[in-house]
Amino acid sequence: MPGGDGCPGKRTDGAGPQNSRFFWSFETRDREQYPPLAKNRNSGDNSARMLPYLLALLPLGALPGTGGDDCSAPSLIAGYGNFPYDNRFATTGADGQLNCQCFGFGSSAIGDDVWFRWTAPTSGVITASLCSSAGHDSRMAVYAGGSCPTQAPLACDDDWCSFVGASQVSWQASAGATYLLQVGNFPGGAGALGSLAIFPINVPTNDSCQSPALIFGPGPHIFDNGSATTGSEGQCESLCTSVQTTTITDDVWFTWVADFDGIAQLSLCASPIDTRCAVYAGASCPLPGSALACDDDGCYFAGPSRLSFAASYGSTYLIQIGCFPSSPGGQGSFLIQNTSPSALFTPVCVQGRYGVGACPCANPPLQAGAGCNNSSATGGALLSAAGSASIANDTLQLNMTGGKPNGATVLLQGRTELSLLSGSAAFGQGLRCVGGNLLRLYVVGAVGGAASFPPAGNPSIVARSGALGDALNAGITRVYTSYYRDPIVLGGCASTRTFNSSNGGIVPWSP
């Protein structure tokens, strides 16, 4: 072999070893860490001083047991406690790099990542934390199962412990199940030799979008996300983009039932923490991209949030309240208020809305917003309003269409809307959402399925209500519905159910 004694890879020109991974990694380390060997005269043993050299013989990557460099060969850990990790010499794999849950500050990548496969000893909410690794600008994610991930992470985090600092994730685990943990850096950051702590925690009952707290009315509603975890839902909403991240950390969840039609303003301005919040339609965990509104600093910079969205009476909305990444949670409150001018007539007792039951005779409405269908198959009676609900100048006219072609029709007035309280009640072949001091204001004969109240030549609604003992005043509301004769009973209902009803409506009375 040319060049000398035939030892493969050995050079004879004095230039040192050829390019092998071991020699290259050793030559590029700080030589001052590895002083020349000397005989230990006391023990005759040089093993302690050999340790740095032995470590240098390892391939580039983590120390044994401190995280596998590839998700296909993770370090195996189990139970609770502290587990060392070392990603100083790790490479960046292709797996777990494109998850929107990890997106923040322009990137979703997890650099120089090492992997662990952990087996849960018990069921419950688990936290994996790098907070003791001070100075490490880390990123980490957790996935269900023990193989290289093919699904989105259960949780992902960048700066939970501190801004430009260490990470922490939490998730719901099942006893005996395995989970894959990915620990690395924010892209461009340096790796570290640190500690991964895994432990169970207690969380608020509304910590998950699967168990939101049900609320009504404007509030104030109290929240406390001081011990909440960061869920995987609602973390990829483009509407939430602010300071190059979409993440809402330590989030708690509420389901709010709208009690008005209009623009709802959700305000956390009285809260002393740096919040983020989002709103979604419905009561189920949100799908990506479904936020109706999202906000970071609507009240003031690096402070609480404020947003607005269009609300419909009786519809449910899912509210997510959390923090800007790395900001601590805590206790606060929020208000939900109608910022629109008062509507003349807010429809209620509408199918599909909160507290409104199914039509009792297998006769759902065939037109939006109407009452239950009738034996003439008009699709259901629809009540609407026109004019002015003014105490001083009452011109309010309530009009029903879609009833039976002819027959007696009654306008009913009450003080309470039932669907948000006790729910609708079966009422003949229809539903009633009006309660509290019920008054039959007018009885008229329908023409072509239509009826108007008050009928021509009759007292106004203010006058008629007062004559029946309910004096109307400015600032109060009343609820109205109409019902009518429907002698042909549908859907196998009892033969006594010979009437049907329209939807209802709330009217606020002004001066």
Q: Is residue 419 helix, strand or coil? A: coil
Written as six digits, the tokens of 328 are: 């601590």
Q: Give kind and range of the element (H or E) at residue 265.
A: strand 262-267
pLDDT at 162: 85
CB 250 within 8 A of CB 329: yes
Rounded alpha-carbon distances, angstroms, from residue 408 to 64, 444, 449, 452, 495: 86, 6, 10, 12, 18
Asked if pLDDT for residue 58 goes beyond 50, the answer is: no
pLDDT tens, position by position, 341-395: 889 999 999 999 999 999 999 999 999 999 999 999 999 999 999 999 999 999 9
| Identity of the residue numbered 256 | W
pLDDT tens, position by position, 416-463: 999 998 999 999 999 999 999 999 999 999 999 999 999 999 999 999
How far is the C-alpha of 328 from the C-alpha of 302, rounded, in Å?
Answer: 12
Nearest Cα to 193, choosing from 319, 64, 100, 297?
64
Asked if pLDDT for residue 38 goes beyond 90, the answer is: no
pLDDT tens, position by position, 274-298: 999 999 999 999 999 999 999 999 9
| Identity of the residue numbered 325 | P
CA dihedral 89, 90, 91, 93 (to 10 degrees): 180
pLDDT tens, position by position, 155-167: 999 888 888 889 9
- Sorted by where each starts, the structural domains of the chain and their CATH numbers stand as 21-56 (no CATH), 75-200 (2.60.120.380), 213-338 (2.60.120), 346-508 (no CATH)
pTM, entire model: 0.74
CB 195 within 8 A of CB 116: no
Q: Residues near 338 by Cβ (< 8 Å), separated by ≥ 6? A: 260, 262, 263, 264, 265, 311
pLDDT at 63: 57
How far is the C-alpha of 440 from the C-alpha of 504, rounded, in Å?
Answer: 14
pLDDT tens, position by position, 170-226: 999 999 999 999 999 999 889 999 999 999 999 999 999 999 999 999 999 999 999
pLDDT tens, position by position, 221-259: 999 999 999 998 999 899 999 888 899 999 999 999 999
Q: Predicted confidence band at 492 (pLDDT cuts at 50, 70, 90)?
A: confident
Which is it for the CA torsion 381, 382, 387, 391, positive or negative? positive
Mean pLDDT of the chain: 87
Nearest Cα to 348, choosing from 416, 280, 292?
416
Count the alpha carbons within 13 Å of 163 in the hemisphere toward its beta carbon. Answer: 7
